Amino acid sequence: LQTRLQAGQGYGNTLNCVLTVYRNESVAGFFKGMSFPLASIAVYSSVVFGVFSNTQRLLSQLRHRDSARAPALADVTLASMVAGFVSVGIGTPVDLVKIRLQMQTQPYIKANVKLKPIVPGFPVYRGPIHCFRTVLQKEGIAGIYRGAGAMLLRDVPGYCLYFIPYTFFCGWITPDGCISPNPSSIWLAGGVAGAISWGTATPMDVVKSRLQADGVYLNKYKGTLDCILQSYQNEGLKVFFRGITVNAVRGFPMSSAMFLGYELSLKAMKRDQTETNP
């Protein structure tokens, strides 16, 4: 739904998008492009959270000679920025394939079919591997990383507004005297952080989605700035908030589960390490 609202044509609102997708593509339409992100989400999440945690520990070690010391706000901010920067290297190709698969059957109203002998409305790619290989062959590495600039502008501040609110809310919700937050505090703090992060990241998410969807039939946008200017000139400021409801709503449960899994895994590993090395 997010991709269709941000880069598609003819969807008035979220409900209209849901009904249109169901009417035209049945239930299967809601799961297009899912396999590639599903196969890579474990690697992506482990890298992002691993970079964030290790950067925090490194900064604490450099500043205070104690890697176990609670990080300061500046340390959390810098670690979040590093995690956001690293995430682009993994996330851009995955998002590109997902968006191309989701958008390949959408009618491109302004497409000039003389540029490419492909009929809008019919599948261009047979699956994620075929999509990745086709883009790589026709557009090279630059094609695979199309939209990386917009994703960088989305994820670097986006992860700051992901980890910082989580750290703040976790500390605020956790009762005094507790060494670590309980699962309910983690779940709630993670959900709030996810909703904040995805909600504020929506404008650059729209630009990223449009850049990556662009190219199925022809390249309409020359780059990030050109996409911003064309979108604003054609549809006004409101275009940059398309899909904000979907982003915020999905951000809560997704981030709740992510942070809960992360914190519980850390606790389990620390407990095993203590038992092994008393």
pLDDT digits (tens, 9 = 90+) for 14-33: 676 777 777 776 776 666 66
pLDDT, residue 47, reads 92
pLDDT, residue 70, reads 78
Q: How confident is the model at residue 118 (pLDDT cuts 50, 70, 90)?
A: very low
Q: How confident is the model at residue 36 (pLDDT cuts 50, 70, 90)?
A: low
Beta strands in 50-191 (DSSP E): none
User: What secondary structure letter does DSSP report for 107?
Assistant: -
CB 151 within 8 A of CB 130: no
- For residues 205 and 126, which has the higher predicted lDDT (pLDDT)? 205
- For residues 183 and 40, which has the higher predicted lDDT (pLDDT)? 183
pLDDT, residue 268, reads 81
Of the candidates 83, 39, 36, which has an alpha carbon nearest to the alpha carbon of residue 58? 83
Who's near 101: CB < 8 A, 6+ residues apart? 32, 33, 36, 125, 127, 128, 131
In whole angstroms, what is the distance from residue 66 CA to residue 57 CA? 8
Summary mean pLDDT of the chain: 82
User: What secondary structure letter does DSSP report for 118?
Assistant: -
Q: How confident is the model at residue 219 (pLDDT cuts 50, 70, 90)?
A: confident
pLDDT, residue 177, reads 57
CB 150 within 8 A of CB 219: no
pLDDT, residue 272, reads 61
- For residues 82 and 100, which has the higher predicted lDDT (pLDDT)? 82
pLDDT, residue 30, reads 67
Who's near 150: CB < 8 A, 6+ residues apart? 204, 207, 208, 211, 224, 227
Structure token digits, residue 194: 């996810």
In whole angstroms, what is the distance from residue 232 CA to residue 278 CA? 61
Q: What is the pLDDT of residues 55-70, one digit of tens each?
A: 998 998 888 777 667 7
Q: Is the pLDDT of residue 38 over 50?
A: yes
User: What secondary structure letter does DSSP report for 216?
Assistant: S
User: What secondary structure letter does DSSP report for 28?
Assistant: G
Q: What are φ and ψ of residue 99, in 5° steps?
A: -70, -40
Q: HEC states along 75-103?
A: HHHHHHHHHHHHHHHHHHHHHHHHHHHHH
pLDDT, residue 11, reads 66
**Sign, CA torsion 49/41/264/202:** positive
Q: Is the pLDDT of residue 206 over 50?
A: yes
Structure token digits, residue 246: 């979907």
Residues present in the chain in total: 278
Place of tokens 């090395």: 277
CATH code reported for the domain at 147-277: 1.50.40.10
Q: What is the pLDDT of residues 91-113, one digit of tens each?
A: 999 999 988 888 776 654 444 44
Q: Is the pLDDT of residue 203 over 90?
A: yes
In whole angstroms, what is the distance from residue 236 CA to residue 229 CA? 10
Rg of the chain in Å (alpha carbons): 21
Structure token digits, residue 127: 């699956």
In whole angstroms, what is the distance from residue 243 CA to residue 162 CA? 18
Q: How confident is the model at residue 157 (pLDDT cuts 50, 70, 90)?
A: very high
Domain boundaries, the chain: 33-145, 147-277
Structure token digits, residue 214: 């662009």
